[in-house]
Amino acid sequence: MGRYLVVANLTAESPSLRARVAEIVAADPGAEFVILVPAGGVSLWHHLVGVEAPPIRLGRRRAGRARRRLQAVGAHVISVRLSLREPAEAIDEELRYGRYDAVVISTLPHPLSRWLHRDLPGQVARAHPDLRVIHVTAPGDFYLDDAGLAPPEAGRRGA
């Protein structure tokens, strides 16, 4: 039975993340998941689409929806955590106090992802060499659709 830290913010509801968690559950039915949402900043995308809600409120909503979506694919989500820290700091803090077998980091693709510009998966792997780091990339059109910027013919995300 493994314990997985799932780190996501904008992509917390992505079909790619759900699919990867479903694969983990299939391979390890007793797996436990903690969802960490580093919700400390408002992205450029939020400014472009006029989202004015505080980052923590957006993070709470995303975290709750992510919990329900991951539970729907069979994940045993034992906790959801929000952090106002930058992602690397939030992950380090969580790993300091919790025991995990792997970290699942969900990002937008290049060039949309600030986390990839900072090489977050690589940073975590270098800082925690004994920990498995699983990187999941959400499709770019997923976030554009979420932000209301996708063309009408773009595929809609499933529940």
pLDDT of 16 > 80? The answer is: yes
Higher pLDDT pick, 85 / 54: 85
Q: Is-above-0.85 flag for pTM? A: no
Q: What is the pLDDT of residues 22-47, one digit of tens each?
A: 999 999 999 999 999 998 754 544 44
Q: What is the pLDDT of residues 106-116, one digit of tens each?
A: 999 988 888 99
In CATH, what number is assigned to the domain containing residue 21? 3.40.50.620
Q: Is residue 130 part of a domain?
A: yes
Cα–Cα distance for residue pair 109/115, rounded to 1 Å: 9
Q: Phi, psi (5° rounding) for residue 11? A: -100, 15
pLDDT at 46: 46
pLDDT of 157 > 60? The answer is: no
Cα–Cα distance for residue pair 62/101, rounded to 1 Å: 24
Quote the domain boundaries for residue 77. 3-146
Q: Is residue 155 part of a domain?
A: no
**Whole-Å CA distances, 27 to 13, 21, 22, 140:** 21, 10, 9, 28
Average pLDDT over residues 150-154: 48
Count of CA atoms in the C-beta half-sphere (13 A) of 117: 4
Percent of the chain with pLDDT over 70: 79
Phi/psi class of residue 68: alpha, beta or left (left: φ > 0; alpha: ψ in -120 to 50)? Answer: alpha
Q: Which of 70, 46, 50 is nearest to 59 (CA)?
A: 46
Average pLDDT over residues 6-31: 95
Q: Is residue 153 part of a domain?
A: no
Q: Is residue 159 part of a domain?
A: no
Q: Into how many domains does the chain fold?
A: 1
Q: Is residue 128 part of a domain?
A: yes
pLDDT of 118 > 70? The answer is: yes
Q: Is residue 23 part of a domain?
A: yes
Q: Is residue 48 part of a domain?
A: yes
Element (H, E) at 148: none
